[in-house]
A and B are shown apart, each in its own frame.
Chain A
Amino acid sequence: MTETAIADHADEHHPSSFASKYIWSQDHKVIAIQYSLTAIFVGLVALVLSALMRLQLGFPDHFSFISPESYLQFVTMHGMIMVVYLLTALLLGGFGNYLIPLMIGARDMVFPLLNMLSFWTYLLSVLVLLASFFVPGGPTGAGWTLYPPQAILPGTPGHDWGILLMLISLGIFIVAFTMGGLNYVCTILQARTKGMTLMRMPLTIWGIFVATIMGLLAFPALLVSAIMMFMDKVVGTSFFMPAILSMGEVLDHTGGSPILFQHLFWFFGHPEVYIVALPAFGIVSDILATHARKNIFGYRMMVWAIVVIGLLSFVVWAHHMYVSGMNPYFGFFFATTTLIIAVPTALKVYNWILTLWRGNIQLTLPMLFAIGFIFTFIHGGLSGLFLGNVVIDLPLSDTYFVVGHFHMVMGLSPILVLYAAIYHWFPKVTGRMLHTGLGKVHFWATLIGAYSVFLPMHYLGMLGLPRRYFGMAGTEYIPESAHLLNANITVAAILVAVVQLVFIANVIVSLRRGEKAPANPWGATTLEWQTPDNPPTHGNWGPALPVVHRWAYDFSVPGAKDDFIPQNVPNSAVEVTDAKAFAEAGQ
């Protein structure tokens, strides 16, 4: 518990050696990049796993290296990596770390040492996770939900070492997240520069802020369930394990409740969806406003919606469990709360489009990805209304409809936002622009390709194709055409996966040869674009911290000469062409 002074002067000792600058760095920007690169690396591993899964589903009986066992391992590791180790880590550890101090006008996080430890702990959790590929039995194949009893019993791949390493890795990840999360929350609450009131914060910060608090309250549920399952497995307690047979032998466990685990898991799992979604919501709001040269429509409503979604997301968890065998009367309550949460979410969508309405839409790369996000998110959100409505979940639960839905809303959509964010902030981070042509190829192929992967999945689900099936052969109700469709989905999925190489190539080439970026290439108002150095150096702000005079969305203010006024520009410094209009606009 060290104290940190956040005095208004730059840190005296700038790191000098390579190691202290790039490895053992306590600079939030370096840590952000370390987080991002690690997350993207494991994300690529998970992407390869998904391609392998699709090969089996699209062309069963062709690939000898995919067995029922390894298929389940791919499913599990793909899901867990994408949700936790990629999306959560990249959005909060990566973008949260980079943007929070810069956007609120701070020199760094309030606990830089803790921040560094957070990254190294995260890296450890990733290594433990990846280590499970190399232990006897391989990684766990219990599905990313890790439901007991099967997760820790023979009959499931990786039921010895794999599941233990998974639980340990999750525990380490939660420690890393808690260290990082405390930092983000405290920094946002107590390191904002002068004039940066809560309601002047960009929505990106609001999204990260609420998501982090949710994470601090939701990850404990995962920790608790992981500890108890660990004990069931290792010392033979019966928290989740009822009296059962395993491979014909009666086990020593008695009386435990598998459903108890599911409650705990989803008490974490559902907020986790919004831990990923809220930062994405925030980021996309800022990108839309900046590139439409228009203020975000209904800023207050957007903030309230983030807060309300954050609160409601803690009382909807059991909508993942409508057919779990829990008391079916819970269905009434959870269906109602689930559909209520659709209202603030819908309002956010309206406000994004209304931000574009009467705007001055610049079709830049970040904007394209943001628009793509609106489209896929509408689709995924609407298909969620099917699953949330308890009775429609009866035929659709555990089918490809669910797979299609959550990939649309929680896979593709946040990934599009992440790309929008990378294309948007790359010039700030590296000082160079990404190549537009390559970026467009990447965008079109990703949007159209991924949509043609996940849209048909909904229909296969309605047909009744179950998820997590290694092979669909041998049923009478699945027509040959469905297998053909599956093959087509696989082709599209492989294409999308390959196209991501274009993005990686773009990043690598642009890092060295990209066009030099101006200090504020998009004409953005938020503070991170107003740093004296580009890219920002250690301490971010040079000799004096910026002072904030306005909200983050003063675009196209009537009467002003430029179509944007940065947050740190006082009214007296604004070049005004029409003083009357400027005054009437509320300035």
Chain B
Amino acid sequence: MSLIGKLMEKPWLAQPEGMDPALLVAPNTGWPARTALRFFLGTVTVIFFLFIMTLLGRSQMGDFHALAGEPWLPFDRPVQLWWNSAILLLSSIAMHAGLWLARQNRLQASLLAVMLAVVLVLGFMLAQGYVWQQLAVAGFGLTTNPASSYFYLLTAVHLVHLLGGVVALSGLLRRYWQQHSQARIVAGLTLCTTYWHYLFGIWLVLFALLTSSAGTIDSLAALCGF
């Protein structure tokens, strides 16, 4: 039944003995961990959404200079960031493969894939750190310009979320060592994979936004009413 339909129910009406529809179905115990993950992703989405909105608002002040759009700007041709994105994409693919293998009950192979995903994510973090270093060397420090401040801030917040994912995943890795049932491994891995894909998606959005030219950012800001 739709949510609206549920909200229209008149709960005081008597249901005939033994015919109460509420008692005919098993209680919806669902999969609380997945529900929790969905709500958590909602919360994280709001965090990034608000960061992005403040960036767009802040971009309309005179001292904001986009990091791309002109040949001399650091992200005019963000080659390194494309490489980093590829690493994160591979990590996501590895996670997905790990999940697929676990579903096939090929747990050894699955474990390898998941560990590869972790290595790739750690690699992504290092690569992001390399970008920070390059950016700083190029003269775009943390406080040089709000655009570069936002670059460091947003990528750092993204990395913190990835790190959280790795911590959660390390809990899952224990299940492999301790030879938990396949079902439990698949369950945990499904959630982690969802989170991985989600963070890859977030990265793409951040990547697109942070390497936008001033014109693009201005039109986005105008679209949001700034």
Residues of A whose CB lies within 8 Å of any CB of B are 1-4, 6, 110-111, 178, 181-183, 185-187, 189-200, 213, 216-217, 219-221, 223-224, 227-228, 231, 235-239, 252, 254-257, 260, 263-264, 267, 295, 299-300, 303-304, 307, 547-551, 553-554, 570-572, 586-587
Check B149–A1 contact: CB distance below 8 A. no
Could you give 23 example pairs across A and B, Cβ below 8 Å? A1-B171, A1-B172, A2-B171, A110-B32, A111-B36, A181-B39, A185-B39, A186-B32, A189-B28, A192-B28, A194-B23, A196-B27, A197-B6, A200-B11, A216-B42, A224-B47, A228-B54, A237-B142, A239-B54, A254-B63, A255-B64, A300-B7, A572-B17
Given A192-B28, A547-B23, do A255 and B12 touch, yes or no (CB 8 Å)? no
Q: How far is the CA of A548 from the CA of B6 in the complex (A)?
A: 17
**A182 surroundings in chain B (CB, below 8 A):** 36, 39-40
**A197 surroundings in chain B (CB, below 8 A):** 6, 9, 11, 22
**B153 surroundings in chain A (CB, below 8 A):** 227-228, 231, 237
- Restricting to B135-184, which residues have a CB under 8 Å from any CB of A? 142-143, 146, 149, 153, 157, 168, 171-172, 184
A293 smallest CB distance to B (angstroms) = 16
**A190 surroundings in chain B (CB, below 8 A):** 28-32, 35
**B57 surroundings in chain A (CB, below 8 A):** 257, 260, 263
Check A189–B30 contact: CB distance below 8 A. yes
Check B64–A571 contact: CB distance below 8 A. no
Chain A residue nearest in CB terms to B35: A186
Interface of chain B, helix or strand or loop or mixed? helix
**B86 surroundings in chain A (CB, below 8 A):** none
Find the residue from A195, A264, A299, A551 having the highest chain B CB count within 10 A: A195
Q: Is B50 interfacial (CB-CB < 8 Å)?
A: yes
A182 smallest CB distance to B (angstroms) = 4
Check A260–B63 contact: CB distance below 8 A. no
Check A255–B47 contact: CB distance below 8 A. no
- Restricting to B167-222, which residues have a CB under 8 Å from any CB of A? 168, 171-172, 184, 187-188, 191-192
Q: Is B26 interfacial (CB-CB < 8 Å)?
A: yes
**A191 surroundings in chain B (CB, below 8 A):** 29, 32
**B27 surroundings in chain A (CB, below 8 A):** 192-196
Check B46–A221 contact: CB distance below 8 A. yes
Q: How far is the CA of A185 from the CA of B22 in the complex (A)?
A: 20
Residues of B whose CB lies within 8 Å of any CB of A are 6-15, 17, 20, 22-23, 26-33, 35-37, 39-40, 42-44, 46-47, 50-51, 54, 57-58, 61-64, 142-143, 146, 149, 153, 157, 168, 171-172, 184, 187-188, 191-192
Closest 3 CB pairs of A and B: A255-B63, A551-B11, A110-B32
**A295 surroundings in chain B (CB, below 8 A):** 12
Check B14–A571 contact: CB distance below 8 A. yes
**A257 surroundings in chain B (CB, below 8 A):** 57-58, 61
Q: How far is the CA of A192 from the CA of B26 in the complex (A)?
A: 10
Q: How far is the CA of A249 from the CA of B145 in the complex (A)?
A: 21
A230 smallest CB distance to B (angstroms) = 10
**B10 surroundings in chain A (CB, below 8 A):** 199, 300
**A238 surroundings in chain B (CB, below 8 A):** 63, 143, 146, 149
Query: Which of A196, A237, A267 makes the CB contact (< 8 A) with B146?
Result: A237
Chain A residue nearest in CB terms to B37: A1
**A264 surroundings in chain B (CB, below 8 A):** 50, 54
Query: Which of B7, B26, B32 makes the CB contact (< 8 A) with A303?
Result: B7
Q: How far is the CA of A110 from the CA of B36 in the complex (A)?
A: 10
Query: Which of B23, B32, B171 makes the CB contact (< 8 A) with A195?
Result: B23
A71 smallest CB distance to B (angstroms) = 32
Find the residue from B12, B33, B184 having the highest chain A CB count within 10 A: B12
Query: Which of A187, A224, A304, A572 makes the CB contact (< 8 A) with B54?
Result: A224
Q: How far is the CA of A257 from the CA of B22 in the complex (A)?
A: 53
Query: Which of B7, B31, B171 makes the CB contact (< 8 A) with A199?
Result: B7
Q: How far is the CA of A418 from the CA of B196 in the complex (A)?
A: 42
Check B184–A186 contact: CB distance below 8 A. no
**B12 surroundings in chain A (CB, below 8 A):** 295, 299, 550-551, 553-554, 586
Check B30–A199 contact: CB distance below 8 A. no
Check A200–B22 contact: CB distance below 8 A. yes
Check A1–B33 contact: CB distance below 8 A. yes
Q: How far is the CA of A117 from the CA of B191 in the complex (A)?
A: 21
B19 smallest CB distance to A (angstroms) = 11
Chain B residue nearest in CB terms to A187: B32
Query: Which of A195, A199, A586 makes the CB contact (< 8 A) with B14?
Result: A586
A232 smallest CB distance to B (angstroms) = 9
Check B9–A189 contact: CB distance below 8 A. no
Chain A residue nearest in CB terms to B30: A190
Q: How far is the CA of A260 from the CA of B224 in the complex (A)?
A: 14
Q: How far is the CA of A257 from the CA of B221 in the complex (A)?
A: 15
B123 smallest CB distance to A (angstroms) = 23
Check A6–B143 contact: CB distance below 8 A. no
**B14 surroundings in chain A (CB, below 8 A):** 550, 571, 586-587
B105 smallest CB distance to A (angstroms) = 19
**A219 surroundings in chain B (CB, below 8 A):** 43
Taking A219-B43, A586-B12 as given, write out 8 further A-B residue pairs in contact, using a Cβ cutoff of 8 Å, ordered by the A residue number.
A1-B191, A182-B39, A189-B28, A228-B153, A238-B149, A239-B146, A257-B61, A263-B57
